Structure 1
């Protein structure tokens, strides 16, 4: 996932206790060519699918404080599931091509 995020121009970090789910925060990290949050989501879903064989996203984007957007991913590994709560800090418009 970190490799996919880096390719999209983001740094990806884990936040929270990891008790119930995995909270991920993606922050724009490169000066130019930062992908849209939708393209980042697609890349992260693909990265998880490559490892677990199955991953999907649930619902739409939710607005969060300070301009962040959140989306829920669900990964299946055998009969177990994991929720990945992705929070994306948007890139400034002048950073996008």
Structure 2
């Protein structure tokens, strides 16, 4: 089981490294990557909408629920920091609104 966890962690680092310069530099130099560095890289990639973390669990038995809530707290941007846009394509034109 420990080997599988290490393999999946390495796979995550390989997938996030091209999206984050700081993590890519450490990965290419074969430096050890701490869990904190990996979390920060996932957060930066998520905020720039280049990476989408996926969580699994069972709400019926509360399995994975705390991990989901912690993930939302750690990886997703605060709603008043995120930029959201809407497009109005009516009336022969397109207008872009930022909320």
Judge same fold: TM > 0.5, yes or no: no
| Pair member with larger Rg | 2
Structure number with the higher strand fraction is 1
Category of TM-score, reference length = shorter chain: under 0.3
- Determine which structure has greater relative contact order: mean sequence separation of CA pairs < 8 Å that are 6+ residues apart, divided by chain length: 1
TM-score by length of structure 2 reads 0.27
TM-score by length of structure 1 reads 0.28
